[in-house]
A and B are shown apart, each in its own frame.
Chain A
């Protein structure tokens, strides 16, 4: 009788233990970053406890703070996913900004041109055209990468700059709003606006993004595509040897990233601004990258990390008002969390080596 070996299903206790093990570096990195920033805040002559309380509680004190946080959370989550999915395949999508702007372009183009259409038709059209525009923009970079081996960091960054000019041209020449100062387009039709819920109003894009992030996390863990993505990211050569079409996986990951970036742009247009304006991309790209890196490519972690960063970003202003601590300290805090998280990788690796060495010595003795 042949004995088949099957990996034992991890017990609940094991699962909790691995989860805790994974959480420790995060906790240490966050505590370390807060400690260093506390020293900086003290050196500036402000009270760190007061500053941190202002940063962390602003989102939870009332509904307005919560809605502000969620409104930031929506594009941050989408752009973090747009960065993290190609990162899974070892590709760096620095073009979230351009993909967001093109998504906004796609949705205002439809939202202005067909502004008479009823909501049932127009709203899906607006969202879909935003997604498609993002796909096209990321598709250019993906095509250049696959066909000509052009570094995707280079092409996505350059396409960002092109997208700024596209936005400027459309907002100041094609559909300019004469009444508004600066580069602002005409408003989209009423049927293109996302409906809102609650008071103060929150657009339903937040539910859409919740759905998208759950689907993305499940697909990354349970689907063939998600598995291939991870295989390519971990060892491209081994994946190719085992029959994964690595080039196609990389291209698809970039295109999916572009679709999410485009969706972010469409939601910003249909849910928040109801028009396209210069600076619509805010600093979402940089924060999206930070979130993707802090989540370390885990799509499950992205929405949670994004929420944490959104809380910090919304709280930064109130921190300055309450305690006089400059908003820039929040940027330093985010950078430090990332840096300490990386350092903890190194420390845990060293500790593991040391533990293995002592156990080997004990076995020999």
Chain B
């Protein structure tokens, strides 16, 4: 059982970081859909830098910077140029995914696969990022709901016109939230080679980025519920792997389906819970006379 818990907690980290990044960005109104590509980029950059410099921490930081660049590009294109968020996000998803494989191809090429060291274990046989990710989720909850700055961020996502009229800089808030959110997504991706395979492959993300979007909706765009939701997703993931290996009397495919079907069912029964930021995915035009 404790074994199951340990595996689940490790599997939870990428979901958690990426979904919180999605949430942070979305709470300011920027709906990022390039998670899958940003995670791949983070995994590639994180792996390559760790391999070259021999330090996982530097690798994670480099991944964060790479993600931040893409996040800033998305935020800039959707605030100052007011381009369609979804379309720009998908274009960046393709670019990030292509850049990730290209970087790996250039640096490693067809030479032998080298593995990087896993992150060192600090407590309960878990690495530091596990605790950081959980602590960060709690801090994020406190920051969003108990500080002025957090409330300003939320107000930009709910009603930017009202926020603007009260002197909140909508553009700057969105730029910051979009950049930091994307950096988190890349870090979530960089965790994959460090925690599991020890190396990079093009299929390393395997749809986790899209699931993180689902998770943000599942958690009602609130950090505390996203924390619970990512634990649930990770537990199902581990359970399905276990069912595949040892069998639990049910075809493992049905266990693997469970988190997706459960998410849909929860969404059906949770109207009030499943609310989204009012201005999610919509650009703010200061000069527009149409409100909302």
Chain A residues in contact with chain B, CB under 8 A? 40, 44, 92, 94, 144, 148-151, 153-155, 157-162, 165-166, 168-169, 173, 286, 289-290, 293, 326, 328-332, 334-336, 338-339, 342-343, 345-346
Q: Report the tally of A-B residue pairs with Cβ distances under 8 A.
A: 115
Residue of B whose beta carbon sits closest to that of A237: B290
Given contacts A328-B102, A328-B105, contact A336 B260 (CB under 8 A): no
Chain B residues in contact with chain A, CB under 8 A? 33, 77, 81-84, 86-88, 90-95, 97-99, 101-102, 105-106, 207, 210-211, 213-214, 217, 251, 253-254, 256-257, 260-261, 263-264, 267-268, 271, 274, 276
Q: Shortest CB–CB separation between residue A168 and chain B, in angstroms?
A: 5
Q: Tell me if B83 and A345 are in contact (CB < 8 A).
A: yes
Of A173, A332, A343, A345, the contact of B251 (CB 8 Å cutoff): A173
CA distance A94 to B97 in the complex (A): 18
Q: Tell me if A148 and B267 are in contact (CB < 8 A).
A: yes
Which chain B residues border A346 with CB–CB below 8 Å?
A: 81-83
Residue of A whose beta carbon sits closest to that of B217: A154
CA distance A149 to B217 in the complex (A): 12
Of B92, B102, B214, B256, the contact of A157 (CB 8 Å cutoff): B214
Q: Tell me if B94 and A148 are in contact (CB < 8 A).
A: no
With A335-B91, A342-B87 given, can you name 5 additional A-B contacts, CB distance below 8 Å? A149-B271, A160-B210, A334-B94, A335-B94, A342-B83
Of B92, B95, B257, B267, the contact of A150 (CB 8 Å cutoff): B267
Of B87, B95, B263, B267, the contact of A332 (CB 8 Å cutoff): B95
CA distance A264 to B207 in the complex (A): 22
Which chain A residues border B105 with CB–CB below 8 Å?
A: 326, 328
Q: Tell me if A169 and B251 are in contact (CB < 8 A).
A: yes
Of B97, B207, B217, B268, the contact of A151 (CB 8 Å cutoff): B217
Which chain A residues border B271 with CB–CB below 8 Å?
A: 148-149
Given contacts A173-B251, A326-B101, contact A155 B91 (CB under 8 A): no
Q: Shortest CB–CB separation between residue B195 and chain A, in angstroms?
A: 21
CA distance A127 to B103 in the complex (A): 42
CA distance A326 to B100 in the complex (A): 12
Which chain B residues border A326 with CB–CB below 8 Å?
A: 101-102, 105-106
Which chain B residues border A166 with CB–CB below 8 Å?
A: 253, 257
Q: Tell me if B102 and A161 are in contact (CB < 8 A).
A: no
Q: Tell me if B254 and A169 are in contact (CB < 8 A).
A: yes
Given contacts A158-B214, A339-B91, contact A168 B253 (CB under 8 A): yes
Of A94, A154, A162, A336, the contact of B261 (CB 8 Å cutoff): A162
Q: Tell me if A339 and B254 are in contact (CB < 8 A).
A: no
Q: Tell me if B253 and A169 are in contact (CB < 8 A).
A: yes
Of A44, A290, A339, the contact of B106 (CB 8 Å cutoff): A44
Q: Tell me if B87 and A338 are in contact (CB < 8 A).
A: yes
Of A155, A169, A330, A331, the contact of B264 (CB 8 Å cutoff): A155
Q: Tell me if B98 and A335 are in contact (CB < 8 A).
A: yes
Q: Shortest CB–CB separation between residue B50 and chain A, in angstroms?
A: 21
Q: Shortest CB–CB separation between residue B73 and chain A, in angstroms?
A: 9
Which chain A residues border B93 with CB–CB below 8 Å?
A: 335
Q: Shortest CB–CB separation between residue B119 and chain A, in angstroms?
A: 28
Which chain B residues border A155 with CB–CB below 8 Å?
A: 264, 267
CA distance A158 to B91 in the complex (A): 21
Of B33, B90, B253, the contact of A165 (CB 8 Å cutoff): B253
Which chain B residues border A92 with CB–CB below 8 Å?
A: 86
Q: List 27 A-B contacts (CB under 8 A).
A: A92-B86, A94-B210, A148-B267, A148-B268, A148-B271, A150-B268, A151-B217, A151-B276, A161-B257, A162-B257, A165-B253, A165-B254, A173-B253, A293-B91, A330-B98, A332-B94, A332-B95, A332-B98, A332-B99, A335-B92, A336-B91, A338-B94, A342-B77, A342-B84, A342-B87, A342-B88, A345-B83
CA distance A208 to B108 in the complex (A): 44
CA distance A161 to B256 in the complex (A): 9
Residue of B whose beta carbon sits closest to that of A147: B268
Q: Tell me if A332 and B102 are in contact (CB < 8 A).
A: yes
CA distance A92 to B90 in the complex (A): 12
Q: Shortest CB–CB separation between residue A30 and chain B, in angstroms?
A: 14
Interface centre among A144, A160, A328 (most CB of B within 10 A): A328
Given contacts A92-B86, A153-B213, A346-B83, contact A162 B94 (CB under 8 A): no
CA distance A227 to B33 in the complex (A): 29
CA distance A29 to B141 in the complex (A): 42
Which chain B residues border A345 with CB–CB below 8 Å?
A: 83
CA distance A342 to B256 in the complex (A): 38
CA distance A338 to B91 in the complex (A): 6
Which chain B residues border A289 with CB–CB below 8 Å?
A: 90
Residue of B whose beta carbon sits closest to that of A140: B264
CA distance A342 to B86 in the complex (A): 12
Residue of B whose beta carbon sits closest to that of A339: B91
The 10 closest A-B CB pairs, nearest first, are A335-B94, A331-B98, A332-B98, A335-B95, A169-B253, A165-B253, A328-B102, A328-B101, A338-B91, A158-B260
